Structure 1
Amino acid sequence: MSAPPGARACLTEDELLALATGALADDGAAETHLASCALCVALMAAAARATPLRAWDALVGATLGPYRLDAQLGAGGLGAVYRAWDPRLARAIAVKVLHDAGDDGRLVAEARAAAAIEHRAIVRIYDVGVTDGLAFVAMELVDGETVRSVLAGGALPPARVRELLATLIDGVAAAHARGVVHRDLKPENLILTRDGLRILDFGLARFVDGDAVDTTGPGGGTAGYMAPEQIRGGSVDARADLFAIGAIAYELATGRRAFPGPTAADRLTATLRDRPPVDGLGELAPIVLRCLAVEVDERFQTALDLAWALRTSVVRPAVAAPPRWSRRAIVLGGLSTLAAGIGGVVVGRRRITRPPPPPELRALTHRSGRVYAARFTHDGSRVVVCAAWDAEPLELSMLELSTGVAGTLDLTGAHLAALSARGELALTRGHRFVDHQSARGELVVRSLHGGEPRVVAADVQDAEFLPEPLTPASPAPGADPSPIRDGALAVVRPSPRGFRIELPIDTPLVDEPGWITHLRASPDGTHLAYLRHPGTNDDSGALVLLELATRTTRVLSDGWSSIAGLAWDPSGDRLWFTAARDGLAATIRRVDLRGRVVDVPGPTAARVRLHDVAADRRMLVNADVWRLRAMVGAADRSGSEISFVADLSADGHTVAIGDLDHLDHGAGTYLVPYHGGQRLRLGPGFPIAISPSGRLVAANFDRGKSPVVYATTDGSVRRLEAPGLITVGRWLDEESLIGLFDGQLWRIGFDRAPQVVAPTGGPLALDPARARCAFVDPGGALRVLDLATGAIRAIATGLTHVEVCGWLAAPDAIALRSTTIPIEIERVDPITGARAVHRVVEPPPLGLKAVDVFVLHADGERFAYSYGQELSQLYLLTPRA
């Protein structure tokens, strides 16, 4: 389009740069044009930023305020950054010097606002000032490399992308909470250090006092990352930063710029006109495209909304029929089920339907740790939260929702099981994991307002108050006529068969062969609902309804690959729960009493967990991040979010660890030096065992097929002849191993048919001579199998909550480890069955769940193990109409 008569056409980039530096001859006409052309204003800022001013070199060695500028670290059109020395505190710092002080008062006010932000991701501001027309900001000196330099190597792995984005969004949210908008987020302003990602230049940000800020002056954005409203010269608020985060996320995930172009003008035009292709974004596509919406009202409205969307999004398996999985499938199956489907999904160049608006969210917790339970008080104005933060023990606190003020209750170490309408707390004291994910303790009842706890029962996993008043129903013919008293507590306790519900205490109502969790009473007290799982290390299962009058149960909904979280609707005619049908994604659902399930629009994640529903249907929901950590001695050797310890080499120098690494099929078999060092990736799959020589490693790779064997010397791959997936195994020699399949012990090898050697089995260990095999069978008997004769004899019986974890060389002893925490290790004489304490291991407490695998070396000193870690934040979720 040509300019109107008498008007000047848009400036070229050379003209814009010359104008910015005062070198344009016809600057009067250019200034007149700039007054009416927002695009040229934005282009001038971008052009100025792209070219350093050589005059900055002259400041090296000078003193600015109290700071000595020792070396230039970088420069641009707006200024330069120096390594400087602060003689007052005798420390090295960074000083950013700006070309133009502009509005001195505003610069100082805004830098002070940025300095007030306390967040680990934001570079700290120490000082701000103006000297001889040069404005400067003194800040923390950060050692690391920019995200821009990292991106020179291409796209980052999906897990790394999510990790960096989570930190970036968290830091930006902290700034927005202080009213500070960055306005120039880009890869150059993000530094990767040994401690994580850090955000630069918040000292040049704009302060938002309730409304918006203009885009003139420093910090006005960079072409390709600035939001459309910045380009147009309109008002800018926090949503401009979310646009920039979307552009950064796009580049991290794909290795390409969202709005490419050889010139700044091209990049700005693309921002206003183009929709970037979604190739390579996978499940991040809806999130990124929403961030990059041209209209601000179509983006995420707050950084908190964006954080929730990222936290609760999940990579779905790209297979036609995704495999069911549960915690048991990961741990006992060597993660092969997960590995087979974790590869992610590539979204083509089709139109992505924008997801519905997320529920109104409010974060109620902000510390690092795990939220175990949360309940609304009867009037819905307060929330009782049970959590373990950092390395501290369990604590209970009460949060006033109207003020956000929380106070700690004097009940350290107690777990919240239930809260009655009249303010009684049912708590388990001495709460600890006893059997994988089942944690139990002594049940006590105490008023929310204080008083001495009253002991009710021992060894209780869960409890629930029945509402009052409650009219007992007549028992069915032939049923136990025991009355159900007003205010009675129903409890879940272990039984010889599995777990049972007692009401009253010591009176069994239901005895299930599996694991019972999330016991909840209906509003009218006529029913109990609960979740039923196959075992204590398996969160798959069903939602079951128990009618108290007849003591009969029926399944409302079954077949969930993961189900956790349950609450009755205030109406009493339906229940809310969180579950996943296939793959990794969990979401909020509801089911009526006829078993009809409805998926509820809302957050979706690998671990979304419902705690409670208020009378107005507000919900308390956890967003959980579950990890499996690999500990080698006292050191964390995890290579990814899921790290699985399999075996120690015979010489004790190497550990076999399986990691999700997003290569091949998404899982890798690694050899890791015991004392740290370079990891060796052998190939895809998750390891089972290392051969006696250390030259062979067996691994599960193809789900449902025999294991593969990697040679550590020449990289060759062979396949064992096995009946199927071997969940636990140990090499007998260089040709065969003994492994657990379908509850039996098998001998498998390269050129021999699989052979059953024991009708029952479990986690196992071989003696140093590899002549005997020890295991604890499902009945609790410690047995030793003579591999030469096939004879099996019981060494000890009646064992509970223990597994074989090794066989010591001196003295000759089988090592048993407890499934409780802390991990108690015993030596057992293989002849007499005499037992003695060997050692106790305390796993890291942060977010600690069950210890899944523990391997003790024959020397009795070196060990490695995997434990579950669950980190969570609690949200108040208010469904939008």
Structure 2
Amino acid sequence: MAAGLALIAGIAVGMFLLQRPAQTSLPVYHPLTFRRGIVHSARFAPDGKTIIYSAAWEGKPLELFTTRPESPESQELRPAGADVLAISASGEMALSLGSHPRAQFLYAGTLARVPLVGGAPREIRENVEWADWSPDGNTLAIVREVEGRERLEFPPDKVLYQADGWIGHLRISPKADMIAFIDHLQLGDDGGAVAVVDMAGKKTTLSTGWDSIQGLAWSPGGDEVWFSATRTGGDRSLYAVNLAGTVRLLARVPGELMLLDVGRDGNVLLTRNNDRAGMIGLAPGEAKERDLSWLDWSVPGDLSADGRSVLFGETGEGGGPKYAVYLRKTDGSPAIRLGEGIGLGLSPDGKWAIARPNITPSPLVLLPTGVGEAKRLTHDSTNHLRARWLPDGKRLVFSGNEAGHGFRLYVESPDEGKPRAISPEGVNPTFVISPKGDQVAGVGPDHKVYLFPVAGGEPILVSATQPDEAPTGWSPDGRALYVFRFGQIPASVVQLDLSTGQRRPWKELAPADAAGIDTIRGITISADAKAYVYGYIRTLSDLYLVEGLK
């Protein structure tokens, strides 16, 4: 009897084990880098084992490296200062020479072809942001900015798509019948959608509504697009979407992922990032800067005329999906939350803040800094990006664009509600207003600095500026501009006399710890030029090889 029961029990256990689902094998993460800094890009070489990546370690300039999974060491490659954009099946690299930040989240440089085995770069085209090889390795798809608008071209000069915002992370499909990319709806923001465009220029959106989305590649079989994104905040996970728009989760870990490449064997290169955006300011009467960061992604919007208050937005995890507008004293007092959106400009009397909600197209709203109710300021279809009050407190200047058009600068009186353009189409959306309120300094479609008369008329070229410089403030008497080059670390701010062209160094701005700093932005100077605030982005990356993702 006992033997029979034991036999029955054994059969039952065996059946249970046979019927129990097999345990799913988990992906294996192999760390490839061990230094402190930011990894910009990485690609598999044709052998699937050698890895080429670009990184800036310990606050030093960007360099090109090679490594393999079995070695903890990386070797530097030439040319120096290059960013790897793509590697062809035949082993030819597409590099960005002199790669530098052009805007937030965007880098540009001179596109060049370099054999993986070594050789001199063959320069192809300037000011290219992204590139990818066709499967046969004969030509490249590129993204570049032309007259203020982002263009996806394949082959170069044949425009397949123009964006109202910006284009990122393009990849040609294995069949070369379409190109996948990330379609970002707003400049300066990494929210957006996964899209594909065919060779006739027909664009299809596969998945949208992502609050932060960076990093994209085709799956090994070419039937899915893999990407890293999140619906809320900044901690991106890894997803896949097929051409029918069905999304599935591939991997989620604590922290922020960015997909860089997918090999033919399904292995993945990605980074796990620790990102922070912060603010540093010098308060009136003080000799030492103070870190004014509040939550995890503090973006300076404006500084009061006396330099004692900074308006800023929180656009990361802490700010939530609708973002949040704050006002903080530059003496380090706690910040006060004013409402939802992104802070843009303070009224001359300090009683109101201009903000824009985290939607596209984005209107302008007024938030009280004290007692009062929020008010909608604009009621049109224009997408508003930046805005500042004129000194009279009755009118404002804003940068905006309509669907299918580049950015322009406008003057508007809230009482009248009829914006008037004062610049041509295609200008940079960032600008500064003169102390008298009669001129607006900005960057034109040709990337040169101009003074745009508020009353209207022909813009005035500021001929003494250097390439890639942008205005960030005016001297108190209105006779000079403060200019700097975006992407330069530290940011060297120069005072430029408008009548003589004389240049005089003013400030060198950067956090004391330069590791992972690749952007200095939002430099705002008080009316008397004795106080200032600026923003920075710090990204600390670890590069991983991941096996077993399906």
* TM-score of the pair, normalised by structure 2: 0.74
- In 1, Cα distance between the equivalents of 2:50 and 2:145? 33
Question: In the alignment, is the contact (CA less than 8 A) between 1:518 and 1:531 conserved in 2?
Answer: yes
1:805 partner SS: strand
Q: 1:357 to 1:773 in 2, by over 3 A?
A: farther
The answer on 1:596 being equivalent to 2:251 is: no
The answer on 1:499 being equivalent to 2:150 is: yes
Among 316, 322, 328, the alignment partner of 1:671 is 328
Give the AA of the match of 1:590. Answer: A
Q: 1:869 to 1:756 in 2, by over 3 A?
A: farther
The residue aligned with 2:524 is 855
The answer on 1:615 being equivalent to 2:269 is: no
Among 211, 223, 226, the alignment partner of 1:573 is 223
The answer on 1:626 being equivalent to 2:275 is: yes
> Which string of whole-angstrom CA distances, capped at 9 and with x for unpartnered residues, describes residues 486-512 of structure 1?
6333433332362344555x5425352
What's the CA shift for 1:639?
2.8
Which structure's CA Rg is the greater one? 1
Gaps of 5+ in 1: 1-355, 469-485
Give the AA of the match of 1:517. Answer: G
Among 441, 465, 477, the alignment partner of 1:810 is 477
Q: 1:421 to 1:635 in 2, by over 3 A?
A: farther
The residue aligned with 1:709 is 368
- In 1, Cα distance between the equivalents of 2:220 and 2:323? 43
Task: Within 5 Å, give how 1:335-374 maps onto structure 2.
Answer: 359-374=27-42
What's the CA shift for 1:391?
0.5
The count of aligned residue pairs is: 486
Give the AA of the match of 1:729. Answer: R
Instruction: Give me the identity figure in percent.
Output: 24
The answer on 1:730 being equivalent to 2:381 is: no
The answer on 1:795 being equivalent to 2:457 is: no
Task: Within 5 Å, give how 1:685-700 maps onto structure 2.
Answer: 685=339, 687-690=343-346, 692=348, 696=351, 698=353, 700=355
Question: In the alignment, is the contact (CA less than 8 A) between 2:297 and 2:318 conserved in 1?
Answer: no
1:599 partner SS: strand
Question: In the alignment, is the contact (CA less than 8 A) between 1:544 and 1:556 conserved in 2?
Answer: yes
Question: In the alignment, is the contact (CA less than 8 A) between 2:302 and 2:310 conserved in 1?
Answer: yes
Question: In the alignment, is the contact (CA less than 8 A) between 1:589 and 1:597 conserved in 2?
Answer: no
The residue aligned with 1:746 is 412
- In 2, Cα distance between the equivalents of 1:700 and 1:357? 48
Question: In the alignment, is the contact (CA less than 8 A) between 2:53 and 2:65 conserved in 1?
Answer: yes
Higher helix share: 1
Q: 1:596 to 1:726 in 2, by over 3 A?
A: closer
Question: In the alignment, is the contact (CA less than 8 A) between 2:352 and 2:366 conserved in 1?
Answer: no
Between 1 and 2, higher relative CO (CA 8 Å, sep ≥ 6) is seen in 2
1:367 partner SS: coil
- In 1, Cα distance between the equivalents of 2:443 and 2:42? 38
- In 1, Cα distance between the equivalents of 2:174 and 2:145? 26
Taking only aligned residues, the RMSD between alpha carbons, in angstroms, comes to 4.0
The residue aligned with 2:127 is 459
Question: In the alignment, is the contact (CA less than 8 A) between 1:434 and 1:821 conserved in 2?
Answer: no
> Which string of whole-angstrom CA distances, capped at 9 and with x for unpartnered residues, describes residues 80-132 of structure 1?
xxxxxxxxxxxxxxxxxxxxxxxxxxxxxxxxxxxxxxxxxxxxxxxxxxxxx
Q: 1:602 to 1:773 in 2, by over 3 A?
A: same
What's the CA shift for 1:408?
2.8
- In 1, Cα distance between the equivalents of 2:388 and 2:542? 38
Question: In the alignment, is the contact (CA less than 8 A) between 1:620 and 1:875 conserved in 2?
Answer: yes
Question: In the alignment, is the contact (CA less than 8 A) between 2:227 and 2:238 conserved in 1?
Answer: yes
What's the CA shift for 1:392?
1.2
Question: In the alignment, is the contact (CA less than 8 A) between 2:354 and 2:365 conserved in 1?
Answer: no
Question: In the alignment, is the contact (CA less than 8 A) between 1:424 and 1:445 conserved in 2?
Answer: yes
Among 80, 98, 106, the alignment partner of 1:412 is 80
Higher strand share: 2
- In 2, Cα distance between the equivalents of 1:586 and 1:736? 42
Question: In the alignment, is the contact (CA less than 8 A) between 1:373 and 1:611 conserved in 2?
Answer: yes
The residue aligned with 1:873 is 542
Give the AA of the match of 2:525. Answer: L
Q: 1:565 to 1:765 in 2, by over 3 A?
A: closer
The residue aligned with 1:508 is 158
Task: Within 5 Å, give how 1:760-775 maps onto structure 2.
Answer: 762-768=429-435, 770-775=436-441
The residue aligned with 2:420 is 758
What's the CA shift for 1:605?
6.9
The residue aligned with 1:586 is 236
The residue aligned with 2:285 is none
Question: In the alignment, is the contact (CA less than 8 A) between 1:764 and 1:773 conserved in 2?
Answer: no
> Which string of whole-angstrom CA distances, capped at 9 and with x for unpartnered residues, describes residues 686-705 of structure 1?
65445556x64636498778
> Which string of whole-angstrom CA distances, capped at 9 and with x for unpartnered residues, describes residues 292-349 of structure 1?
xxxxxxxxxxxxxxxxxxxxxxxxxxxxxxxxxxxxxxxxxxxxxxxxxxxxxxxxxx
Question: In the alignment, is the contact (CA less than 8 A) between 2:302 and 2:524 conserved in 1?
Answer: yes
What's the CA shift for 1:386?
1.4
What's the CA shift for 1:671?
2.9
Gaps of 5+ in 2: 1-23, 283-288, 402-409, 424-428
